[in-house]
């Protein structure tokens, strides 16, 4: 096995153990014959091996003893991987039974007696493989350097990863030097979870990526270097998590997004769509997201100059991306329209709202429509006029408010003093005179005096400068009296 491949197997096992331990079905079975405790001990054993594995893989080229030890370890880890794969399959079957109470045969299979038998059998197998791994670990008579898990980065994924046919969970997150994944990874037909978070150098996914037909979770937040998505994602109908979709900057790229959103109706969790195009080339069909039950949605248009003729197309594209009304977090950036979409006021369950670089929006939807809002961020809304006092008063749950680069904001918004839940207020690059925010004496100080955390250069300078002045005055008074 190529250097780096074994550590990928280990991380996959640890990830799969974590998912199993958190699963409700496993917790039910885990009460029988101590299966859960045995899984936890197995995870501890594998984590201990993982700590020295990178050093062992580096030394094996010139140390025959270490090479033989790794060979034994590889066989045992593959055995553990197969065992967990079988266990995960049975857990999935139980989950199906829970959703289909009429499936009598499945109910019989997982009756109390069968649960006892299965729990005893699985507990014995887990104990056996853990003891085998413990024995191999104890055979190590040579020194290996234990390295913290977070430093075990890899610069490339070996092509041999395609041989791990039973792999179901793969986490490559935070490997900042990976630029491409080998096409052999598309042979992992049992893979269900692929995590690539913060692989910032990753440029593209393999061309045959759609062959991962059983993939359920594709996590790519923080993959800022991605230039486009591969063709055929719409064939991956088992996908439940697609955290990022990057459009190519080439003309006609929206067709791929349209196909994917039309076919993937089971999307959950977070979705960020970036490089949305302006103008006619970026026009989208209606109701592409309405059937998905997303919790978080980020819509990011290309940062470029917009012609007046493109304004209407940008508004239509934004209108077409209407999410499910249960959405919790929404971020809109760089859309060239002059007004907010008609569906925005319907998102009454929003907890977090970010509006950034909407240069032509003069008004926001009534804040009364968002009783659950806890976090608001407004950035570079060049045309935005002040929001009325009554609007701010309606935000009875607001915890944090960030106001950045709002050229028309010349004073602290009236009504903020009534938001008793507000914990943090940050104001930056807004034309609010420093004197208005000075502690105790500033005209706007009564509006912000109750807020525990004040951030941003205007508020910071205003409050700190007042403290400094008070300190100087006190010192001068003491010196005079002396």
- Quick: pLDDT tens for 138-188: 877 677 766 555 445 677 888 888 888 888 888 888 888 899 999 999 999
- Quick: pLDDT tens for 351-404: 999 999 988 888 888 888 888 999 999 999 999 887 777 678 788 899 999 998
* Model-wide pTM > 0.75: no
- Quick: pLDDT tens for 395-437: 889 999 999 889 998 888 888 898 999 999 888 888 888 788 8
**What is the separation of C-alpha 96 from the centre of its chain, rounded to a whole number of angstroms?**
27
Mean pLDDT, range 270-279, rounded to an integer: 90
d(CA 382, CA 403): 12
Of residues 193 and 249, more confidence is placed in 193
Structure tokens at 283: 């026009």
Structure tokens at 29: 């079975």
Q: Is the pLDDT of residue 33 over 70?
A: no
Structure tokens at 408: 């028309």
Residues 379, 355 contacting (CB under 8 angstroms): yes
Residues 363, 339 contacting (CB under 8 angstroms): yes
Residues 317, 276 contacting (CB under 8 angstroms): yes
State residue 103's pLDDT score. Answer: 45
Report which DSSP code applies to 397.
T
Domain ranges of the chain: 5-147, 166-470
Mean pLDDT, range 227-250, rounded to an integer: 91
Q: Say which CATH topology domain 166-470 has.
A: 3.80.10
Strand 217-219 relative to strand 193-195: parallel, antiparallel, unpaired? parallel
Which residues fall within 8 angstroms of residue 62, CB to CB, at 6 or more apart? none
Scored b (16 or more CB within 10 A) or e, 444-453 reads: bbebbeebee
Strand order through the sheet with 329-333: 244-246, 268-276, 293-301, 329-333, 352-356, 375-379, 400-404, 424-428, 453-455
Residue of 367, 365, 423, 421 whose CA lies nearest to 396: 421
For residue 193, the SS3 value is strand
State residue 147's pLDDT score. Answer: 59
Q: Is the pLDDT of residue 458 over 80?
A: no
Q: Is the pLDDT of residue 74 over 80?
A: yes
The percent of residues above 70 in pLDDT, for the chain, comes to 83
Which residues fall within 8 angstroms of residue 337, CB to CB, at 6 or more apart? 311, 312, 314, 315, 318, 358, 360, 361
CB burial class (10 A; 0-12, 13-18, 19+) of residue 3?
A: middle
Structure tokens at 292: 């998905």
d(CA 251, CA 377): 32
The percent of residues above 90 in pLDDT, for the chain, comes to 26
Mean pLDDT, range 76-81, rounded to an integer: 87
Of residues 224 and 119, more confidence is placed in 224
Structure tokens at 143: 């020194």
Which residues fall within 8 angstroms of residue 281, CB to CB, at 6 or more apart? 251, 252, 254
Structure tokens at 195: 């995590």
Mean pLDDT, range 24-42, rounded to an integer: 71
Residues 256, 280 contacting (CB under 8 angstroms): no
CB burial class (10 A; 0-12, 13-18, 19+) of residue 468?
A: exposed
State residue 472's pLDDT score. Answer: 41
Q: Is the pLDDT of residue 318 over 60?
A: yes
Q: Is the pLDDT of residue 227 over 60?
A: yes
Mean pLDDT of the chain: 81
Q: Is the pLDDT of residue 246 over 70?
A: yes
- Quick: pLDDT tens for 210-226: 999 999 999 999 898 99
Structure tokens at 413: 């918004």
252: number of Cβ within 10 Å:
9
Report which DSSP code applies to 260.
H
Of residues 71 and 91, more confidence is placed in 71
Of residues 456 and 159, more confidence is placed in 159
Residue of 14, 47, 394, 388 whose CA lies nearest to 167: 14
Residues 371, 388 contacting (CB under 8 angstroms): no
State residue 330's pLDDT score. Answer: 95
**3-state DSSP helix/strand/coil % of the chain, to nearest 5:** 45, 15, 45
State residue 331's pLDDT score. Answer: 94
Strand partners, 400: 375, 424
Of residues 464 and 122, more confidence is placed in 122
d(CA 57, CA 1): 10
State residue 152's pLDDT score. Answer: 52
Stretch among 122-126, 182-186, 281-285, 319-323 having the lowest mean pLDDT: 281-285
Q: Is the pLDDT of residue 475 over 60?
A: no
For residue 41, the SS3 value is helix
- Quick: pLDDT tens for 34-49: 677 788 888 888 888 8
């Amino acid at each position: 096995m190529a250097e780096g491949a074994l550590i990928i197997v280990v991380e996959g096992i640890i990830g799969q153990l974590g998912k199993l331990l958190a699963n409700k079905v496993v917790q039910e079975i885990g009460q029988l014959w101590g299966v859960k405790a045995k899984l936890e001990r197995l995870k501890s054993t594998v984590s201990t091996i993982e700590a020295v594995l990178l050093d062992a893989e580096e030394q094996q080229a010139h140390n025959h003893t270490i090479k033989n030890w790794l060979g034994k370890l590889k066989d045992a880890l593959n055995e553990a991987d197969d065992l967990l794969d079988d266990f995960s399959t049975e857990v999935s079957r139980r989950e199906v039974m829970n959703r289909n109470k009429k499936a009598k045969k499945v109910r019989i299979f997982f009756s109390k007696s069968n649960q006892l038998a299965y729990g005893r059998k699985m507990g014995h197998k887990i104990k056996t493989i853990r003891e085998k791994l413990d024995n191999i670990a104890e055979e190590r008579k040579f020194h290996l350097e234990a390295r913290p898990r977070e430093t075990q980065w890899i610069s490339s994924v070996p092509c041999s990863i395609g041989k791990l046919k039973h792999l179901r969970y793969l986490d490559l997150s935070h490997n900042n030097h990976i630029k491409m994944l080998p096409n052999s990874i598309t042979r992992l037909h049992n893979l269900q979870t692929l995590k690539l978070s913060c692989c910032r150098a990753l440029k593209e996914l393999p061309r045959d990526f759609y062959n991962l037909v059983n993939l359920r979770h594709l996590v790519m937040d923080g993959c800022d270097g991605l230039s486009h998505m591969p063709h055929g994602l719409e064939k991956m109908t088992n996908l439940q998590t697609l955290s990022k979709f990057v459009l190519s900057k080439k003309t006609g790229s929206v067709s791929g997004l349209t196909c994917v959103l039309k076919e993937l109706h089971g999307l959950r969790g977070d979705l960020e769509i970036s490089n949305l195009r302006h103008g006619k080339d970026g026009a989208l069909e209606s109701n592409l997201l309405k059937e998905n039950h997303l919790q978080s949605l980020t819509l990011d248009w290309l940062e470029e100059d917009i012609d007046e003729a493109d304004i209407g197309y940008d508004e239509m594209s934004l209108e077409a991306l209407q999410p499910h009304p249960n959405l919790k977090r929404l971020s809109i950036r760089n859309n060239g329209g002059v007004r907010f979409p008609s569906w925005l006021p319907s998102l009454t369950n929003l907890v977090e709202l970010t509006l950034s670089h909407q240069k032509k929006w003069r008004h926001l939807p009534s804040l009364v429509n968002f009783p659950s809002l806890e976090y608001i961020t407004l950035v570079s809304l060049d045309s935005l006029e002040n929001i009325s006092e009554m609007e701010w008063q309606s935000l009875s749950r607001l915890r944090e408010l960030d106001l950045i680069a709002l050229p028309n904001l010349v004073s602290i918004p009236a009504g903020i003093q009534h938001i008793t839940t507000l914990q943090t207020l940050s104001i930056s690059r807004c034309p609010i005179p420093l004197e208005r925010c000075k502690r105790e004496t500033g005209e706007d100080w009564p509006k912000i005096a109750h807020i525990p955390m004040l951030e941003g250069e205007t508020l910071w300078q205003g409050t700190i400068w007042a403290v400094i002045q008070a300190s100087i005055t006190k010192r001068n008074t003491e010196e005079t009296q002396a």
